Structures are given as structure tokens and as C-alpha cells.
Structure 1
Amino acid sequence: MNILDKTDEEIIAIAGPWWANLIKYSNNKNYLMFIEHFAKVLRPSANEMELGKQFARSDLAQNLSPEFDILGTIRRGEHITVLFKQRHKKMEGEWLGRMVLGYEDDEIRIFSVSIF
């Protein structure tokens, strides 16, 4: 299967709820739910210890606003990157969120996720 065959609307229908869940589980420091849709190749670098440190130390990771905007998609190779405009509950300004989606074992999975 090739994720590039999906329309932007189909990708956004998946990515939007997944991003909302990542915000929720980051704010709640719920590691197991946070990595629910991660690809196998991402899980070793997103281990519980490392994410736990980020959840504990990062004000950004603990206070993300549930409100966000989807800016669009970028298609490259076997993956689609979805870009988000993210806000924070306490800090002024906006952050750029990025989620990379692709297929693993015939299922869509998250191959990378970041906010900066």
C-alpha cells in the first residue's frame, strides 16, 4: 500500500484525531497511549524513560492547548508529513507541529512526531 494514494482529506481525517490524542496524552503524561499509533521503528527512540523525562521537564509538553490548526501536508517518498499550528495553555505564541505518516504492516502509523 502507498500512503501517497490517499487524498489530503483522508490523511487529515486520520492525522487530526491522532494529533488531538497526542496533545491529550502528552498533557496527561500517559506514555502508553501517547505511543499507541507509533511505528515499530519509532518506538525505540520514544522509549518510556526518554518520554518520561520530556513529560516531566518540559512545560511545553505538559500544557499544550487542545486547539490547533492543520496547515497542510507534504508528500515525499513513502510518507506524508502533516503540519500543525499548535498553541499553548500558558505561553504566548504558536508552535509548529509535525507528524509523519506511512504504512507499516498494511496499517497507517506515525513514523515521526515533533513540535518546535
Structure 2
Amino acid sequence: MNIIDKTDEEISELANAMWADLVKYSNEGNYGAFTRNFSSTFIAGANEVEMGKQFARSELAKNLSPDYEYLGIIRRGEYVTVLYKQRSSKKAGEWLGRLVLGYEKDKVRIFGATIF
């Protein structure tokens, strides 16, 4: 299976649900729920202690607005990158959210997620 073969609508439906979960669990500082859709390679690099420190120190990571805006999809190889305009409930301004999705063992997983 290759995720790039899905339609934009199919990808955005999957991605939006995963992004909403990431926002929710980031705000809660819930590492287990936050990482539940991560691929095995992505989770291997997501050290729980370091992520806990990031959740504790980052005002942005604890105050993401659930009102994000889907911007589009980029297809490349066996992955798609889904872009979002993300806001904070406490900090003024906008951030770019990036979610990289692909298949791992016949299931769509998160291979990358960042806000910058």
C-alpha cells in the first residue's frame, strides 16, 4: 500500500483526526496518547523524558488551539506531508504544523510531526 494513492479527501480525513489528537494530547502532556499513532521509527526517536521536558517548558506545546487550518498535502515517495496553520490559545501569532504520514504494517502511522 502507498498512501500517495489515496485521494486528498481520504488523506485529509485521516490526517485531521490524527492532528486533532496530537493537539489534544500535547495540551494535556499525555505522552502515551500523544505517541500512540507514531511509527516504530518515529517513536524510537521520541524519548519520553525529553518530550516530557518539552511539554513542561513549552508554552506553545501546552496551549495549542483546537482551531487549526488545513493548508494542503505534498506527496513524495511513500509518504505524504500534511500542512496546517496552527494557533495558540495563549500566544499571539500563527505556526506551521507539519504531519508526515505513511504506512507501517498496513496501517497509517505518523512518521513526523512538528510545529515551527
Alignment partner, residue 102 of structure 2: 102
Offset of 1:17 from its aligned partner? 1.1
Q: Give 1:19's aligned residue.
A: 19
Deviation at 1:67, TM superposition (A): 0.5
Can you list the C-alpha shifts for 1:14-47, whole angstroms capped at 9, x where unaligned? 0001101100100000000000100000011112
Runs of 5+ in structure 2 lacking a partner? none
Residue 72 of structure 2 corresponds to which residue in structure 1? 72
Whole-Å separation in 2 of the counterparts to 1:106 and 1:44: 19
- Distance between the aligned counterparts of 1:60 and 1:95, measured in 2? 10
Distance in 2 of aligned mates of 1:40 and 1:17: 20
Q: How does the TM-score come out when normalised to structure 2?
A: 0.98
The superposition leaves residues 46-92 of structure 1 with CA deviations (integer Å, 9 ceiling, x where unpaired) of 12111101100100100001100000000011100000000001111
Distance 1:38 1:44 in 2: 9
Moved over 3 A (4+): none
Using the alignment, how far apart are the partners of 1:76 and 1:17 within structure 2? 21
Partner residue in 2 for 1:8 = 8
* Structure with the largest fraction of strand: 1
Q: Aligned residue for 1:39?
A: 39
> Over aligned residue pairs, what C-alpha RMSD do you find?
0.6
Instruction: Write the distance in 1 (CA, Å) between the matches of 2:36 and 2:69.
Output: 22
Match of 1:59 in 2: 59
Letter in 1 for 2:31: Y
Name the structure 2 match of 1:82: 82
Alpha-carbon distance in 1 for matches of 2:36, 2:8 = 22
Which segments of 5 or more consecutive residues in structure 1 lack a partner in the other structure? none
